[in-house]
Amino acid sequence: MGKIQKKTGKGRLDKYYHMAKEQGYRARSAFKLVQLNKKYNFLERSKVLIDLCAAPGGWLQVASKMMPVSSLIVGVDLAPIKPLPNVITFVEDITTEKCRATLRATLKTWKADVVLHDGAPNVGAAWVQDAFTQSELVLQSLKLATEFLNKGGSFVTKVFRSKDYNNLMWVFQQLFKKVEATKPPSSRNVSAEIFVVCRDFLAPKKIDPKFLDPKHVFSEVDTGMVGQPMDVFHPEKHKRQREGYEDGNYTLHKTLDAWEFIKDAEPITVLGSFNQFSFTSDESRNVFKSTETTNEIKECCEDLKVLGKKDFKNLLKWRLSIRLEVGLDKKPEPKAAVQETVEVTALDDVEAVEEHAASAAADESRQDRIRRRQKNERVQKNVQRMQLGMIIPTDIGLEQDADGQSLFSLTNIQKAGSLKMVRKGDTDVDPEEFNAEMDMGEDIVTGEQDTKAISRRKGKSMVKEDLDAEFINDGGMVSDQEGDAELMEDLDEMYEQYKERQLERDAKMRAKAKREDKGEWKGFKKNGSGEEDSDSDDDTPNQAPQNDDTSDSDSDSGAEDEDGLPGAYNHKKTIKKSSKNPLLVGLDDAEQAELRQKTESGLTKGAKMFFDQDMFKGLVGDDEEDEEADDESNDDDEEEEEDEAEEAEDVEMDSDEEIRQFRRDRKTLKRKATEAAEGDEEEDDIEMVPLGKEFMDDEMWDGESDEEDSRKRKQISEYSLITAEAMTLAQSLVNKKATKSDLIDQGFTKQAFAEKDGLPAWFLEDEEHHNVPNLPITKEAVQVIRDRMKALDARPIKKIAEAKARKKYKAAQKLMKIQKKADAINDTEDISEKEKSIGIAKLLAKAAGAKNKKPKKEVQLVVAKGHNRGAKGRPKGVKGRYKMVDSRMKKEMRATKRIAKKAKGSNRRNYLFVIVTLISVDDMTLLEDPCKRTG
Ligand SMILES: C[S@@+](CC[C@H](N)C(=O)[O-])C[C@H]1O[C@@H](n2cnc3c(N)ncnc32)[C@H](O)[C@@H]1O
């Protein structure tokens, strides 16, 4: 144990291991003593301490830290202990008389206040010492303690929960007033060790030797060859000796003559109890020569403790064949059919058979588990991919199922003769036929369903198919997992989320959703009642209308057809295809007629519905758009949007009332603007004459390109109007001082009709800058722009805001650091509460000190120029600390900084610089001294 062991096992490198490293303890076990002392306080009051089994010295370190200065601390161990300040150590076996003598010589007349014992017999290192079991070692240490302890002293020892435990406790109680068993938190739960703290040594004048005689103390204990035989059929399950060192288990390397094993009626017990089979007896030597005793068997016999299940089976087989060979067993009647079972039954060992059967069953169930886990992992993976938007539920079905068979096997379709159609991209497949072929009839939705419902159902069905594919057992469509339903629900939910995301992204989908929500378009009605066809799931197939012109189709998503137009408006294209397809139902005459009805705007009802979609809302420029802008519902929407925008803008507004007032004003303004526009239209009684070709000249009219126009619009929406001219224009419109036609008129300026052909580029450029119409501006408009700029100026600039945030962040980081340090101090086990509080107070003081640092006194820089040039003493009008500076100084400072920066650069450069300097110095010397040159 004295050796440094490699800590490899799981959890070995625990908190205490790291703490020990941090605090410089040689072993994590140091914390056990720290914690024991915390509970019983035996170290602080002690002057002499003996640590039995002290290597590597963790406990000694703790003792020397906790005990008063100049205490006598002695450590003994089989392994040498690296020297420690103020600690005497020696290498000795604590069970020997020599150890006793050395201790006596070291302590002289002194007696110990505390005797510690944390010993554990070495396994594998020194067989002689290992003859002592843990309990015996404890008794030995107690023996030493009784000899060296002061009256009233303490004895702290480690014991293991074993049969001897009670006996040991009884002995302790005879010798000490207080005996308590405890398990410090740092002692691993998996370890069976307990620490017994015996206080107030009674120091009897004479102790009955029986008290300290292992034979006597542990007399009730069966000291025979203990040790549970190993489970040979599950050698890997052999319980590790976490409890420490079970009595007798670690010391005995047991060898048995192979013949004994062959003879024994309980071969499995023998296999688990011995380390080696030897071939020393005459019988076993014969066995050794037998052909059955292969080299492999011989090797197995060398070390039984390292064998696996297979090896044990081989050994049992070998034993059987030898028994048959030598006539210990009779050959069993050959059972024709079952070869495998012969082996097991012939073992003649019920336990073996059971074990074998159990292991086979376990194997099978393990395989089963693995298969199930793999399937679950696949589902999990798909779910994750779906969450990441890498796939959509409908994609999942395209993946292969567990058995490597695609759910949508093209072979299946080909067999059914539909592959050709699919290849052609022809969707004109008879759904019923198709359903029958694919055996997925229930998942296909027929009729003109609510598109949302269609896609949801489709998604669901696909997900279900996919799940089934994952959990399927060779063709069965029923999942055997309990969590299927739950998983299915999750997937449904995810699909809904996916759809919502799609809606957010896709304007077309949004338009569709809006249509559905408004109830304006819910698919074509069969009976004109406005209700969707709820019979779509009916068994009776939907009848396709005879009239091609009146039939329509809806793609399965229902959102749009191949051209990207909603199915309703592109029906002509698909009429022919859909006419054959009973899945797709067209319009009847009444519906067609209804759609063709003209609305007030002059568009047919169908067209209006189409242009009512959100995606057309952004389009501007025609009068219809203006009219639509008057539409009340739209107005409401816009108002809402505006309100939101205002809310964002209104951060500076103080009270609700102000906000409300502001909104009212805005609405009034808006209304006025609308009225003004309407008024314009009323006034615009001008008959619009189509323009001649010459007026259609782009160059003539394109004040601004579309791009430029949209850029300006964006700018205005983002930053509002930023020029006084624009503001004047806007104000005059709002205040009804100008009309739309005025503005148009104003556009006809001399610049607008200026001939540009043949003019040089420089001239045109110049003109563009200077020959521009002088637009009028008003005082009010300028004031508004000015105020806006002022407000903008008053806002903190980004850099300052960032710097402030950085400062805040740094302060928070610092605080966290201090908190961590304080926590670490708090967690430290081996310092008193007082020390902890002092430590934490120091930390806080340090932090506060940094915060309360006095700011440096400002030094005023006075430039030595003008009347200050060459002035002696304090320059006039300067108060407080000052420093005279001049341009020379500035230059020199810069030069110094530059040099320092250069010096910081690469060493190589410095090195070269030095060499160059040296060379030049040498040259100079040579120049100065011509004699040297000749030399
Ligand atoms: C768990 S370690 C002790 C660790 C020690 N308390 C520390 O904190 O560093 C157990 C020690 O018992 C020692 N040991 C076992 N049998 C012994 C014996 N008969 N005499 C002396 N030391 C023994 C081993 O050499 C080993 O170093």
- The answer to whether residues 175 and 146 touch, using CB atoms and an 8 Å cutoff, is yes
pLDDT interval class at 255 (50, 70, 90): confident
Give the pLDDT of residue 700: 41
For residue 178, pLDDT over 50 is answered with yes
- The answer to whether residues 278 and 255 touch, using CB atoms and an 8 Å cutoff, is yes
Cα 215 to ligand 1 centroid, rounded to whole Å: 23
Q: Name, of 210-224, 369-383, 501-515, 910-924, the range with top average pLDDT.
A: 369-383
Average pLDDT over residues 507-528: 49
pLDDT digits (tens, 9 = 90+) for 743-774: 888 888 887 777 788 888 898 888 888 888 88
Helix (H, G, I), strand (E, B) or coil at 654: coil
**Ligand 1 atom 15: the closest Cα is on which residue?**
121
Q: Extract the annotated binding site for S-adenosyl-L-methionine.
A: 57, 59, 77, 93, 118
Cα 82 to ligand 1 centroid, rounded to whole Å: 14
| Token duo for residue 265 | 């009626």
Secondary structure tally for the chain: helices H, strands E = 38, 11
Helix (H), strand (E), coil (C) string for 214-238: HHHHCCCCCCCCCCCCCCCCCHHHC
> What is the C-alpha to C-alpha distance for residues 108 and 74, in angstroms, rounded to an integer?
12
- Strand pairing report for 176-182 and 193-201: antiparallel
- The answer to whether residues 431 and 581 touch, using CB atoms and an 8 Å cutoff, is yes
pLDDT digits (tens, 9 = 90+) for 429-453: 444 444 444 444 333 333 334 444 4
Give the pLDDT of residue 351: 66
Q: Which residue has the tokens 């399937």?
A: 375
Average pLDDT over residues 188-213: 88
Cα 121 to ligand 1 centroid, rounded to whole Å: 7
> pLDDT higher for 546 or 873?
873
Q: Extract the annotated binding site.
A: 57, 59, 77, 93, 118
**Ligand 1 atom 10: the closest Cα is on which residue?**
119
Q: Name, of 49-53, 522-526, 605-609, 717-721, the range with top average pLDDT.
A: 49-53
pLDDT digits (tens, 9 = 90+) for 57-115: 999 999 999 999 889 999 999 999 999 998 999 999 999 999 999 999 999 999 999 99
> pLDDT higher for 242 or 851?
851
Q: Name, of 56-70, 345-359, 505-519, the range with top average pLDDT.
A: 56-70
Q: What is the ipTM of this complex?
A: 0.99
Query: Is the pTM above the cut of 0.90?
Result: no
Average pLDDT score, the chain: 69
Q: Name, of 21-25, 178-182, 697-701, 770-774, the range with top average pLDDT.
A: 178-182
Give the pLDDT of residue 549: 39
460 catalytic per annotation: no
> What is the C-alpha to C-alpha distance for residues 864 and 882, in angstroms, rounded to an integer?
12
Write the CA distances from 821 to 425, 781, 815, 832, 838, integer angstroms: 70, 61, 10, 16, 13
- Strand pairing report for 72-77 and 48-52: parallel
**Ligand 1 atom 23: the closest Cα is on which residue?**
53
Cα 136 to ligand 1 centroid, rounded to whole Å: 14
Helix (H, G, I), strand (E, B) or coil at 455: helix
Active-site hit among 47, 82, 111, 158: 158
Pocket of ligand 1, beta carbon within 6 A: 1-2, 26-27, 29-30, 53-59, 77-79, 93-95, 118-122, 129, 137
Cα 79 to ligand 1 centroid, rounded to whole Å: 8
Supply the DSSP string of 726-765, one letter for each residue: HHHHHHHHHTTSS-HHHHHHHH--TTTT---TT--HHHHH
pLDDT interval class at 658 (50, 70, 90): low
CB atoms within 10 A of CB 889: 14
From 34, 122, 141, 156, the mutation candidate for ligand 1 (largest count of ligand atoms within 8 A of CB) is: 122
Cis omega (within 30 of 0) on the bond before 56? yes
pLDDT digits (tens, 9 = 90+) for 475-508: 333 444 445 566 566 666 666 666 666 666 555 5
From 53, 61, 96, the mutation candidate for ligand 1 (largest count of ligand atoms within 8 A of CB) is: 53
pLDDT digits (tens, 9 = 90+) for 331-342: 766 555 444 444
